[in-house]
Amino acid sequence: MTERHRMESALREGLPGLGLRLSQAQIQSLLDFGAAVLAQNQVMNLTAVKEPEAFARLHLLDSLSLLTAADLEGKSVLDVGTGAGFPGVPLKIACPSIKLTLLDSTEKKSAG
């Protein structure tokens, strides 16, 4: 099983526990984002989590868990200290109506 498939499996297993239903396109966007972060992690230290299943659980699902605590539909969200884009990017993928601003003090993490 490829790394992407392992990440997808862990993501799909965790979504029902959060009570979230995402479209196939949203799931693919989360997987694309996860793959990009893991690839960039080879060049710069963005996360200590390198295993696809753990990445899905500890970064993607953890970020999405915020949607169970608050209704963010149409709200402005500021992700301070976003680093590799958590939790902001997964939230925007799952809830496209939010107005998201990512802020990090390290320029190299937010460039590109």
CB 79 within 8 A of CB 87: yes
- Provide the whole-model pTM: 0.92
Cα separation, 21 vs 12, in Å, equals 9
Domains within the chain, CATH numbers bracketed: 3-110 (3.40.50.150)
Alpha-carbon gap, residue 95 to 81, rounded angstroms = 20
Q: Is 57 exposed, middle or buried (0-12, 13-18, 19+ CB in 10 A)?
A: middle
The answer for residues whose C-beta is within 8 angstroms of residue 108's C-beta and 6 or more apart is 44
Structure tokens at 24: 């196939």
Q: What is the pLDDT of residues 1-53, one digit of tens each?
A: 899 999 999 999 999 999 999 999 999 999 999 999 999 988 888 888 999 99
pLDDT attached to residue 108: 59
Calculate what percentage of the chain has a pLDDT beyond 90: 81
